[in-house]
Structure 1
Amino acid sequence: MTPTKTKTKTTLAGAALTLGALATTAAAGPALAEVSESCRQVRLAEVGWTDIQATTGVATTVLDALGYDTDVKVTSVPLTFIGLEQGDIDVFLGLWMPSMAGMVQERLDSGAIDRVRTNLEGAKYTLVVPQYAADAGVTDLADLDAHKDRFGGKIYGIEPGNDGNLLIQDMIDADAFGLADWQLIESSEAGMLLQARGAWQSEEWIAFLGWAPHPMNTKMDIVYLTGGDAYFGPNQGGATVHTLTRAGLSDECPNLARFLNNLAFTVEMENILMGAILDHGETAESAATKYLAANPDLLAPWLEGVTTVDGAPGLPAVEAALME
């Protein structure tokens, strides 16, 4: 087993720092070749959403066991894209599509950022209301304005700068669905869900940003509104989540690239991990470690062709680390 590496977690408070020139790395060698020093640190963006906390926790748990030095940078979505483009961030596991297309597509098309793979299918992302509001006739975005008084003319979003909030504001600015005189309330994932849970328990009407996977789907009886495909994309399992890297990482760091190309999640897996974080106070790393120890069959496909940083087979090293 490779030596334990120190994991750090930092906060990006401003624009991403400019890096110096990257050291030239050697071409990929045969199996059991050591990972070059310039590829041994992996900087991952985590944007404060529980699903990305969970998936990032899984990735860092495995990478740490392989001997990598992982650095989780807590930042915003806009700064994540800047960080990837400028080379201050290596990996982001949370590109939700198509809702984030307007924020990232130009960077993808220009090659400023690389998209590695789809890591989750069957996700949902749009506005939701409690089941009792849907039972009263609010099942589509076009139904909201007729019940403006019941909703207080407010739509609850998450943190400022988030793509979902921007899409909601776009609808308001365009008077889509008659929402011109509605107000977007921005806070955070936790703040929004606290507001939603309180309203749901009191049977008050509330419209807020919802998504799956997330434990909100089992803790509250909610309905995803139809009609928002032009803004959010298909909401009935039509959203996908993708892995991004800084440009050139796959060529420079082939062992890391193999792992990222192999790494994929399921809605069920993420629901369980998020439940452990939100309901039981687990850290993302603790939740990931327990989940992987209980589901070891996940590791073999993720670690196919992947080694430790010292060139040893990756699977036995990770299995040993999970047993500790």
Structure 2
Amino acid sequence: MKFPRTLLTAFSAAAMLALSGCAGGASTEASAGPDNGDKKDLTIAVFNGWDEGIAASELWKAVLEEKGYNVALEYAAPAPVYSGLSTGDYDVTLDTWLPVTHKSYIEKYGSDMEDLGAWNDEAKLTIAVNKDAPVDSLEELAANSGAFGGRLVGIEPGAGLTEATTNKVIPEYGLEDMDYLTSSTPAMLSELKAATAAGENIAVTLWRPHWAYDAFPLKDLKDPKGALGAAESIHSFASKSFTQDFPTLAGWLQNFAMDPEKLFSLENAMFNGAKADDYGPAVTQWISENRDYVDGLTQG
């Protein structure tokens, strides 16, 4: 049987429309976000140069993308991050140190943000030495400075740790005769690596959490005078509308916890071997080796 050309044209148009509709439906389904009440698009603000925050953010990015979220990491200094959170330009940041380091930002912007709680409570500035060094306390360092070549290896001159070492640690523990070297964090780590390989003593300014504790045999020198301050907690802070926009994720982040050893191992995998700015493969490998922990992040 032959059909009129007009009928065939109408049928073809209808068929094309149906196929188009099916394709559109498939595309919509493929691009759908998490089926848990959360928005799909999420922006995590990350502090430049803060390894623990970079590690936590990259981990959550990988975890959430498995769940169907579209996650963007945006790097900035703390001031614009907190300003952006207060205006809703960013959704969340995972690296707020309290009660001291970021106190001024919380005082300024806190009423326009939400504290999702602490995920690590052992953040601390330190002076670290090789584990078999002949001293255990900063009180012993001056009398044994020769064992370290009379050197204390620091990081960037403008860092808060450098300021605390210069203004507090050195005068309070009588370390004025030691040569305090400041340059950069990579330079300090290079010295630490070389000394470890040579079996030599070394004293460096460091902080917890840091991947160096997983990569090298280190111990922190006791600080009985509290020159470096007490331990702080690392919090996740979010925009004011975060819980409304991401009710499920808000619960996950409120329950998020990561102990120093696990964080050290993630940082070590990312920063001590992976290509800079291409952490994806290292994070994927770490997730595969810590699947039970990772799966637990999105339960409950």
Establish whether TM, by shorter chain, passes 0.5: yes
- Equivalent position of 1:291 in the other structure: 286
| 1:37-56 equivalence runs, <5 A | 40-56=41-57
- Equivalent position of 1:15 in the other structure: none
Structure 1 residues 108 and 77, CA gap change in structure 2 (3 angstroms): closer
Tell me if 1:277 matches 2:273. Answer: no
What secondary structure is seen at the aligned counterpart in 1 of 2:102?
helix
Measure how far apart 1:192 and its partner are: 1.5
| 1:187-202 equivalence runs, <5 A | 187-188=184-185, 190-202=186-198
**Unaligned residue ranges in structure 1 (runs of 5+):** 6-30, 306-324
Measure how far apart 1:60 and its partner are: 0.6
Amino acid at match of 1:270: L
What secondary structure is seen at the aligned counterpart in 2 of 1:243?
strand
Q: Is the contact between residue 172 and residue 227 of structure 2 (CA under 8 Å) also seen in structure 1?
A: no
Candidates 221, 227, 238, aligned match of 1:225: 221
Structure 1 residues 43 and 93, CA gap change in structure 2 (3 angstroms): closer
Q: Is the contact between residue 164 and residue 228 of structure 2 (CA under 8 Å) also seen in structure 1?
A: yes
Distance 1:69 1:158 in 2: 36
- Equivalent position of 2:206 in the other structure: 210
Provide the aligned C-alpha RMSD in A.
3.7
Q: Is the contact between residue 35 and residue 255 of structure 1 (CA under 8 Å) also seen in structure 2?
A: yes
Choose 1 or 2 for highest CA Rg. Answer: 2
Please give the per-residue CA displacement for 1:90-115, whole angstroms capped at 9, x wherever unaligned: 33223345xxx433224335525543
Please give the per-residue CA displacement for 1:186-241, whole angstroms capped at 9, x wherever unaligned: 402x322111122333454432123455443354332211115624345xxx5543
Q: Is the contact between residue 130 and residue 205 of structure 1 (CA under 8 Å) also seen in structure 2?
A: yes
What secondary structure is seen at the aligned counterpart in 1 of 2:68?
coil
TM-score, structure 2 normalization: 0.70
Distance 1:253 1:170 in 2: 44
Please give the per-residue CA displacement for 1:56-89, whole angstroms capped at 9, x wherever unaligned: 1111112223333322233445654555456554
- Equivalent position of 1:167 in the other structure: 164
- What fraction of aligned residue pairs are identical, expressed as a percent? 24
Distance 2:197 2:223 in 1: 26
What secondary structure is seen at the aligned counterpart in 2 of 1:268?
helix
Measure how far apart 1:269 and its partner are: 2.6
Amino acid at match of 1:42: T
Number of residue pairs aligned between Structure 1 and Structure 2: 267
TM-score, structure 1 normalization: 0.65
Distance 1:102 1:120 in 2: 15
Distance 2:30 2:253 in 1: 20
Q: Is the contact between residue 42 and residue 68 of structure 1 (CA under 8 Å) also seen in structure 2?
A: no
Higher RCO (CA-CA < 8 Å; seq separation 6+): 1
Distance 2:295 2:256 in 1: 11
- Equivalent position of 1:57 in the other structure: 58
Amino acid at match of 1:207: A
- Equivalent position of 2:73 in the other structure: 72
Structure 1 residues 166 and 75, CA gap change in structure 2 (3 angstroms): farther
Distance 1:191 1:4 in 2: 46
Tell me if 1:102 matches 2:103. Answer: no
Please give the per-residue CA displacement for 1:254-287, whole angstroms capped at 9, x wherever unaligned: 3432232233223333233223224442643323
Measure how far apart 1:127 and its partner are: 0.6
Distance 2:79 2:203 in 1: 25
What secondary structure is seen at the aligned counterpart in 1 of 2:49?
coil
- Equivalent position of 2:139 in the other structure: 142
Structure 1 residues 219 and 86, CA gap change in structure 2 (3 angstroms): same
Measure how far apart 1:45 and its partner are: 0.5
